[in-house]
Amino acid sequence: MIDIRLLRDDPEGVTAALGRRGVDESEIVALLAADVAHRALQTRSESLRAEVKALSRLVAEARRGGDDTRAEELRARSRLLGEEERALAAEAEVEGERVRQALLYLPNIPADEVPDGESDGDNAEIRRWWPGQDDGAPEPLRAAHQQVPHWEIGHALRLLDMERGARLSGSMFPLYRGAGARLLRALTALALDRHTPVYEEIRPPTVVLTETMVSTGHLPKFADDAYHLERDDLWAIPTAEVPLTSLHRGEILEESVLPLRFTAATACYRREAGSAGSDTRGLLRVHEFDKVELFAYTTPDQALGAQADILRRAESLLQELGLRYRVMDLCTGDLSGASARTFDLEVYSSGVDRWLEVSSTSWYRDYQARRAQVRYRPAGGAAPQLVHTVNGSALAWPRIWAALIENGRQEDGAVRLPDCLAPYLGGELVLRAP
């Protein structure tokens, strides 16, 4: 969440910044009014509590002096003030929760460099890459034999079985078979080998507490997109970012250990509420998928460098895999609620003739750390400060899998996979029908 003190000190600036994200000024006005009311109630409650304590001392003095009448008068007044104080404290708690909830729903302040816009159509393309580009080769055309969607190729080569996945779990739960499943495992192994040991590998739980989801900003605003295990009040993670953000929740780190870098390969679960009928064929949008995540706790000065490193690593993997891609600078209308700035990587998939998002690399400033209360102690001995958090996918596999199958399709219907996967596939890089 954003700092309430920033709202108090610069309401016009925050209102203008969040207005770029579509936040109505009335939301901020209401939040500030609730904050004023909350602080006034707190002040009055604390004043009454002090009066009650003072009266308690006077009661004791009166009793020691043998003035029982005076003691009873003071005690009666103390009881009345105590009741009033408890009522005010309860009001303050309600008003404070109203402030907290409003802050939990407010998005992050976008970086000045983020382009303005309302939707993904307003995102800015920064650059693109394709195999052979460095040697002067032109951007490749879409070959006729590659104009087959991955779900048809996957069915023909017995790599992907969406029908049986749906039979087991419902629509949008894929089932990979044989070499298709092995390809998924190979991609994960390749990515982890490229990221470690610079990024410490973590295998976190894939179900987490509510406060763990709140720390990243996924709750309460995006509850409809998450899977909730109500009996145990646990949530299936939508990304490994969720447990990694809370890895040091409530702790104070030493500046000397920053940046702390982690990577995790996990299954991820998303309900994709409202996506019915939209991009739901094959692997374009699924409820469960595997992903390798990169994450860092940083100082404010280290944050942009950490974001650049994660983006570079994701791009490097795409180049190893020989996939044509472009880098997009997300506009204010397409940023996630917690992000201050995000770069997306989109891969071109020839079978569906579309650019598919396969990675988002985001800088959150201290928005998540304030929720999780992860701080660091500056080397000079100043008071502890909130860390910044950065994360990105390197990479999420369903659309990578789809692009490899479509772009690697040969004229005879077989699929040729990139050489970098040979060590993980026993050297078998050509997939044919069984």
CATH number of the domain bearing residue 64 = 1.10.287.40
- Residue 212 burial (CB count, 10 A): 23
pLDDT level of residue 135 (50, 70, 90 thresholds): very high
Buried b (16+ CB within 10 A) or exposed e, 336-346: bbbbbbbbbbb
Let me know: does 282 contact 150? Beta carbons within 8 Å: yes
As a residue count, the chain comes to 434
Chosen domain end from 71, 105, 139: 105
Answer whether residue 114 is part of any domain.
no
pLDDT over 90 (residue 391)? yes
Q: Is residue 111 part of a domain?
A: no
pLDDT on residue 277: 56
- Evaluate if residue 275 carries a pLDDT over 60: no
**Both 124 and 39 in a single domain?**
no
Q: How many domains does the chain have?
A: 2
How is residue 137 annotated by DSSP? P
| Whether residue 372 sits in one domain with residue 412 | yes
Q: Is 405 helix (H, G, I), strand (E, B) or coil?
A: helix
Model pLDDT for residues 310-336, shown as the tens digit of each residue: 999 999 999 999 999 999 999 999 999
Q: Are residues 185 and 98 in the same domain?
A: no
Question: Sign of the CA dihedral 218, 219, 221, 225?
Answer: positive
Q: Domain limits at 140?
A: 120-431
Q: Is 211 found in the same domain as 64?
A: no
Question: Cis ω on the peptide bond leading into residue 259 (within 30° of 0)?
Answer: yes
Distant-in-sequence contacts of 23-32, Cβ < 8 A, 24+ apart: 23/106, 23/107, 27/102, 27/106, 28/106, 30/102, 31/7, 31/99, 31/102, 31/103, 31/106, 32/7, 32/8
Residues 68, 152 within the same domain: no
Average pLDDT score, the chain: 96
Q: What is the pLDDT of residues 89-101, one digit of tens each?
A: 999 999 999 999 9
Place of tokens 């080569």: 157
Looking at the fold, whether 91 and 197 belong to one and the same domain comes out as no
Residue 251 has pLDDT above 80, yes or no: yes
Establish if 368 belongs to a structural domain: yes
Are residues 233 and 206 both part of a single domain? yes
One domain, residues 294 and 324 = yes
As separate numbers, helices (DSSP H) first and strands (DSSP E) second, the chain gives 12, 16
Query: Taking 70 as the threshold, does the pLDDT of residue 39 lie above it?
Result: yes
Asked if the model's pLDDT at residue 140 lies above 90, the reply is yes
Q: Has residue 380 got a pLDDT over 90?
A: no
Supply the pLDDT for residue 332: 98
pTM (two decimals):
0.93
Q: Are residues 168 and 83 in the same domain?
A: no
Same domain, 168 and 268: yes
Alpha helices in 217-297 (DSSP H): 241-245
CATH number at residue 130: 3.30.930.10
Q: Which element (helix H / strand E) includes 253?
A: strand 252-254
Question: 403-432: per-residue pLDDT in tens?
Answer: 999 999 999 999 999 999 999 999 999 999
Distance separating alpha carbons of residues 302 and 363, to the nearest angstrom? 11
- Judged against a pLDDT cut of 70, whether residue 276 lies above it is answered with no
H or E stretch at 430: strand 430-431
pLDDT digits (tens, 9 = 90+) for 358-377: 999 999 999 999 999 999 99
**Residue 363 forms part of a structural domain:** yes
Last residue of a domain, one of 55, 80, 105: 105
Shared domain check, 76 and 34:
yes
φ and ψ at residue 79, rounded to 5 degrees: -65, -45
* Within-domain flag for 115: no
Confidence band (pLDDT; 50, 70, 90) for 152?
Answer: very high
- Interstrand relation of 227-229 and 288-298 (parallel, antiparallel or unpaired): unpaired
DSSP-derived secondary structure for 326-340: EEEE--TTTS-TT-S
Same domain, 132 and 248: yes
Domain's final residue, options 105, 140, 167: 105
Query: For residue 381, what pLDDT band results from cuts at 50, 70 and 90?
Result: confident
User: Which phi and psi (to 5°) does residue 326 adopt?
Assistant: -135, 155
Burial of 323 by CB count in 10 Å (0-12 exposed, 13-18 middle, 19+ buried)? Answer: buried
- Asked whether residue 113 is assigned to any structural domain, the reply reads no
42-78 pLDDT tens trace:
999 999 999 999 999 999 999 999 999 999 999 999 9
**pLDDT tens for each residue of 173-187:** 999 999 999 999 999
At residue 84, φ and ψ (nearest 5 deg) are: -65, -40
